[in-house]
Amino acid sequence: MSIALIITDRDVQPLRQSIEAELQGATPVWIYPDIPKPEWVEMAVVWKHPPNVLQAFPYLELVSSLGAGVEHILNDATLPPGLGITRIVDESLSTSMRNYVLMAVLNIHKQLRFYLDNQRAMRWEKPARIEVPLRIGMLGLGALGGSIAASLAALGFGVLGYSQSPKDIPGVRCLHAGDTTIAGFVRQVNLLVCLLPRTADTESILNYKVFRHMPKGSFLINVARGAHLNEDDLLKAIEKGYIQEAWLDVFSEEPLPEKHPFWQYPGIIITPHIASITNQENAAKIVAENYRRWKEGRELLFEVDREKGY
């Protein structure tokens, strides 16, 4: 019996070696497309896997995402109905995401883009307001969103959070779907951070109807999924003055095409999906532990609820 790694965007030899070491060499780990015996594969670890590839493994019982997101698995129309699905929830992922969001918030707060523009123009000038007063709205209060909201509150920022169900986070004013609408929530903030899971209900949730309820000159940070953002609507919101600066780490198409209009907008800061990168050694420990738990009939770590989508 074996584990297949079906990951198309990076070198996963370190992951393979770490999983085999965790399992003490008792289970071979193969890297797609070099799968010598598909009928041996009981577990697959996937990220950006080719469409329908899971059909090649007749005895597949368990599939794990290489990251926290699982939409690439749930959107596979050929996914067997009884398949166990897990994801990676790792402290290093949370730390990286927190640091990215803090970086973006502090750059906005201290207006770094203003000074970089001045440096290029060799201009010594101070803005009328040295620090931008921020009311931060955290859209999504799961493991990542809740931790980041608490960190921002600890730095002295006013933070509101919005989630589907009630949450209680020290220093954060937590709202949920029973309290108000998304529109009602964003009216109260001037910096919106998206850390929602991708589901059918959250696709294109960052749209012009939402942006126009924010105060003029607001800010956006999207580190969740590219599908959350209606890209044309963001450009419209920038042109209408609702959004003055957006930090984007995820996009509907990656890599971002050379002719994409985002490249031409100085108010859009682009990073190439690097806000949070899976640590392969840590991921190997979780994959190996879930493989052992599945073989022993025990509860899995970070199992996904198909109905919720995360």
Within the chain, what is the greatest distance between any pair of CA atoms?
68
What DSSP state is assigned to residue 67?
S
Please say whether the beta carbons of 203 and 228 come within 8 A.
yes
- Of 48, 153, 68, 60, the closest CA to residue 105 belongs to 153
102 φ/ψ angles, rounded to the nearest 5 degrees: -60, -40
- Of 193, 195, 187, 194, the closest CA to residue 216 belongs to 187
The DSSP-derived string for 219-246 is EEEE-S-GGGB-HHHHHHHHHTTSEEEE
CA pair distance 78, 101, nearest whole angstrom: 36
- Of 200, 206, 188, the closest CA to residue 246 belongs to 206
User: What's the full length of the chain, in residues?
Assistant: 310
Q: Which residues does the annotation mark as catalytic?
A: 225, 273
Amino acid at residue number 76: D
